[in-house]
Amino acid sequence: MNLVGTGYDVHSFAEGRKLILGGVEIAHTHGLDGHSDADVLCHAIADAILGAIGERDIGHHFPNNDPTIRGISSLEIVRKAASLVSECGGRINNIDSCLIAEAPKIGPHIAAMKANLARVLGLSEQRVGIKATTNERMGFLGRGEGMAATAVASVEIPG
């Protein structure tokens, strides 16, 4: 059975934090605020995978009031989502995602992000799509107050 899930995540920018996207540290004036490393791309992808198999979202699996996971790499969150697919006897077919922010420029970092995510998901890099766009200076994203990501996951499970 072929299933599809969607994911969305958003975080505000915060001073004094590293900006991590797809497991890649990107030079920028601000990082993203969150309990983990606040990697919006990984969070959206994990939620898409979890949604495809009917699981609850990452907040259930990685609650923000759990001090033992404070600062966790969001690649570990993606890894956990992928392991739940494996536990169902399934496999991830592909991921498609989009980062939404006015800055920084994402293009130069896409290859490294794809490599990280493909490794964690056990996929070829060709099966991990990452795109980027701006919000055309509209709303909180357009004012540069934060960053968002969307993702779709295609998962195949038996039955």
- Confidence at residue 17, expressed as pLDDT on a 0 to 100 scale: 97
- Tell me: the pLDDT tens digits for 5-45? 999 999 999 999 999 999 999 999 999 999 999 999 999 99
Mean pLDDT of all residues in the chain? Answer: 96
pLDDT less than 50: residues of the chain: none
pTM: 0.97
Domains of the chain by range and CATH?
A: 2-156 (3.30.1330.50)
The DSSP string of the chain is -EEEEEEEEEEEEETT--EEETTEEE--S-EE-SSS---HHHHHHHHHHHHHTT---HHHHS-TT-GGGTT--HHHHHHHHHHHHHHTT-EEEEEEEEEE-SSS--GGGHHHHHHHHHHHHT--GGGEEEEEE--TT-HHHHTTSEEEEEEEEEEE---
